[in-house]
Structure 1
C-alpha cells in the first residue's frame, strides 16, 4: 500500500510523498474501522449494478475489497514482471502498471482493476488531505502545501482574501504542535 501511495503522490523536493505523509496509515485505519466493515449499510442480496450515483453494492466491505485487490495486483505483477510484486518494481514500472490498470489494459484475477485503482486513488487523496488525527497528512504537509489553515476556530477575515498566504501554521483537530499543555 505504501508503494501505491508513493506512486500516486510521489515525493518531491518540497513535499513528502504518499508513503511519508501517512496515506497508507490513514487507509489502514479506515479499513480497520466501521467504513471497512460497511457498518450501517444494507448488506442483503440481491446486489445489482446500479447507476453511478447509487453507489457501490456488494456483500464485501472495503477491507475485503482491498485484500483481494492488493493480492490480485501483486499476482498480476508477478506474472507479467518477472516474479516481482508491485512494491519490488522500479518507479517507472509501477507507473506503467497503474496506467495499464486505469485503461483496463491490465486484468486482475477476480477484481475489477480499473475500479480498484480508482478507489485507491480516492482513498490516497483523502489520506493526504485528512486531519492528521486520522493517520494521514503527517505534520500537516498537505495543508502547508496548499495554505489551508486547518481546524482553526476563526479565520473569517481571510476568507475573501484571495491569493494571499494565511500567516499562521495550520492547526489540526487536536490543536497545534506548537501549543503546550500545562
Structure 2
C-alpha cells in the first residue's frame, strides 16, 4: 500500500495507517528536530508533541499530498516553542564551558557539523531541502515563506558553507606538508 492510501486511511481515523506513516518519516523528523534543537531530549519531546498533535488533528488535513509538509510544519512549530522556552530559562553564559562550541580551524569539518553551525533560518532551509529532499515549494509551504525567500536563504547558506570549507581547506594546505 502506498502513502496516499495510508494518508487517506489515517484521515479517516485508521490508527495503524497513521503509525505506518509516522514510521516512514520518523528519521526525517528526528534529523530536523535535532538540527534545530541540538539536544536529544528536546528533539524527542518535540517529536512526541508533533505526533500527538498530528494524530489529534489528522482529520483536518485537507490535502493528503501535503502530509509530509504538514508534519514538518507542526514539528518546526514545536521546536520553535521549545527554543523560546529554553531561551527564557537559560542564557549562553549559564551553559558550562565544556558544552559551549569550541571552534578551531584545525578541527575536522564535516558537512553536517558545518550546517549545524549556521543560524537557524539558514540551517532549516538546508536541512529540509538537501537532507530531507523537499522541493523549494515544499520548503516554502512548510516554513510559511515565499519560494524566492527560500531561494535567497539557500543561496546565503551555500555561500556561508562554501566560505567555511574554503577557509578550512586553505588552513589545511598551509599546515599540512605537501
TM interval, shorter chain, is: under 0.3
Q: TM-score, normalised by structure 1?
A: 0.25
Q: TM-score, normalised by structure 2?
A: 0.26
Greater fraction of residues in helix: 2
